[in-house]
Amino acid sequence: MKRITDLEKKYVLDALDNEFATSKNSIYTNKMESKFAEIFKHDFCISHVNGTATMHTALHALGVNKGDEVIVPPLTMSSTSLCVLQNGSTPVFADVDKETFNIDPKSIREKITDKTKAIITVALYGLSPEYDEILQICKEHNLFLIEDNAECFLGYYKNKLVGTFGDFSSYSFQASKHISCGEGGMLTTNNEEYANKARRFTSLGYAGVSAKQGKITRNDIQDPNYNRHVAVGFNYRMSEVQSAVILGQLERIKELVNQRLEVAKLFDEAIEGSTLVTKQHTPKYCINSYWAYSMILNTDTPQTSWYEFRDLFQKNGGDGYYAAWKLTYEEPLFKDVIQNQEGITQKYEEGLCPNAEFLQKRMIQLKTNYWDLDEAKEQAAILKKTLAEFKR
C-alpha cells in the first residue's frame, strides 16, 4: 500500500496546471472542503495552514477573550495550550484518566472558575474522551467545547463520529496524521455564525468571504474605493496544492485508517499475556482510530527502565519508539516564562496533574503508519521478543 498514490499526484498536477490563476484559485480547496463536510458530517469546513491555527481561529470565533480561562489536558502536543496563549487567554490544566489517558471530567469540574469560558478536549492517540460527561459539564456551566481531533479520524464514541460533539472541531494534516499533505488543518462547525467569523479570521478579515468561502470579484478588487477588511484576521488559508493532496487522501480515507487498525491488531497480539505493559484502555463503546499505539511500562523505576527497554527493543531490530510529549506545564516556556505572567493562577509544579505525571514517565508510543504490513508484522514480532527477554 502506498500513502501517496497516482490519484493525489493527478490532482496536484491539475492544480499546478492552473498556474495559481486568481480566476481558478480555490477550485481544489472548495472541492476538498465539501468532501470533508460530507465525510465528517459538518455543515461548514474551513481549511487552515495547520491544526494549531484552527484552534486559535475557533477561540476567536467563539468570543473567548483575554483573561478568559480555557481548560486543557497537559498530556498532549503543546499546540492545544499554545493556541490559548496566542489568543491572549489562560490555559488551565486538568488531569487525565489513568486508563484511557484522556482528560478526566472529574478534574475538569475541579478546575472551573467564574473565568472559565471553554474546554479543549483531545482525542488522544485516536481515542475519544468521555463526551457524555463533558457535554453535561458544558451545559451546566455554559461553556464552549472545542474538539482537538488532530489524532482521531473516523473514531467513534457511542456510535457517533468523533468530531461531531463540539461547537468547533479541529483536525490536523501534519505529516504523521491519518491523512496528510505535509502540513495543514481543518476547522469544522454546524453553526453558521461561528463559521462566518472563522472564515474571515483565516482570510485577513476580508469582507467578501463567508462560511462557504465566497469570492472577491475582479471589479471589487480593482476598485480604489473597495473596503477589503471588515474584521481582524490572519492569513491562515490553505493552498490549492495542499488541498489537492487532501482531496485525494479523503477519497481513500477508509483505506488509510483501516491500515492503522490492522497494525494495532498486530501489536495487540504481540503484548497479549504480558504483565510488563498496559495499553491505553479503549471502552467497548468507542472505536479507536490509532494514530499511535500507546501503552505504559509497568515499572517503579521509569527513569531507567524506559531507556533500557527501548535499548533492548532497538537491539532486537525494533525501529525505536516515542515517549509521550513532556507535560505542557513542565516545558521551560510554561514553568519559566508563562508562570510569571499576570493572570496565571495555577502553579506549574510537580503534583499539578498526578495521573498525567505518572503516565508520561512510563509512556511508550509505537507508530502505526506502516504502509507495508509485512514491516509491521516484523516490528510486532520484535516487540513480543523484547517483552519476553526484558528483566525488570
Mean pLDDT of the chain: 95
Average pLDDT over every residue of 188-200: 97
* Three cell numbers written together for 279: 495499553
d(CA 240, CA 246) in angstroms, rounded, equals 10
Is the pLDDT higher at 17 or at 218? Answer: 17
Is the pLDDT higher at 219 or at 285? Answer: 285
* Three cell numbers written together for 90: 489562560
Burial environment of residue 278 by CB neighbours within 10 A (0 to 12, 13 to 18, 19 or more)? middle
Q: What is the pLDDT of residue 1?
A: 85
Using alpha carbons, select from 352, 354, 325 the residue that is nearest to residue 111: 352
Does the structure show a pLDDT above 80 at 24?
no
- When the candidates are 3.40.1190.20, 3.40.50.2000, 3.90.1150.10, 3.40.30.10, the CATH number that belongs to 254-389 is 3.90.1150.10
Q: Which residues are catalytic?
A: 177
Topology (CATH) of 6-252:
Aspartate Aminotransferase; domain 2 (3.40.640)
Q: What is the pLDDT of residue 287?
A: 99
Q: What are the boundaries of each domain within the chain? A: 6-252, 254-389
Contact 370, 263 (CB under 8 A): yes
Q: What is the pLDDT of residue 218?
A: 75
- The DSSP symbol for 352 reads S
Q: What is the pLDDT of residues 232-290, one digit of tens each?
A: 999 999 999 999 999 999 999 999 999 999 999 999 999 999 999 999 999 999 999 99
Q: What is the pLDDT of residues 46-97, one digit of tens each?
A: 999 999 999 999 999 999 999 999 999 999 999 999 999 999 999 999 999 9
